[in-house]
Amino acid sequence: MALTRPEKATDEKADMEGPMNIASLPGPWGRIWLGTTPKGLCGVSLRGGRAMLEAKARAWGLAVQDDPRANQRAIEQLREYFEGKREGFDLALDLRGTRFQLRVWRALQAIPFGETRSYKDIAFQVGHPTAFRAVGQANGSNPIPIVIPCHRVLRSDGGLGGFSSGVDIKARLLAMEAARRKG
């Protein structure tokens, strides 16, 4: 399965054109909200709802519009993921963050379905072996959870660590992936 490809990842302060198109789909624990710009998927809200995406659009100076068609590909791929028919994503992304965050998010995309890495592993992978706490912060700032699989990163002792949408959802995602990998 193809990894998600970041298309023209930019710095947070980069200018954007076009609106943020918002749509949602039912998920295993409630509605999942998606935000897409003309450059690609820019937000997945598992618990913050539509309001989180609207706040992001305001911060970026973007208009908001409801347009499920603009999010159709992401909706289909997330549905397939939850139905057990997909292990990775092939979507254009509009990522905004610091250079360090972008490197961490790219490293997260390389973690195979059903596997985990530690924050320390990712710190080594991005060339900053002592920056495991910064990796945790970048992980927590991931704007596109599930698609960029930050839930696959654990503490060095095997503990779950944190998850911006709640450790309970992280545990469910990991259990779902582990069960599919075994089956």
Catalytic residue set: 150
Q: Kindly list the strands in the beta sheet with 20-27, ordered across the sheet, starting from the edge strand earlier in the chain.
A: 5-6, 92-93, 40-45, 30-37, 20-27, 64-66
- The amino acid at 18: G
Give the CA count within 13 Å in the CB-facing half-sphere of 56: 30
Neighbours of 169 (CB within 10 A): 20
* One-letter amino acid for residue 5 of the chain: R
Helix-then-strand count for the chain, H and E:
6, 8
Structure-token pair, residue 177: 């992936």
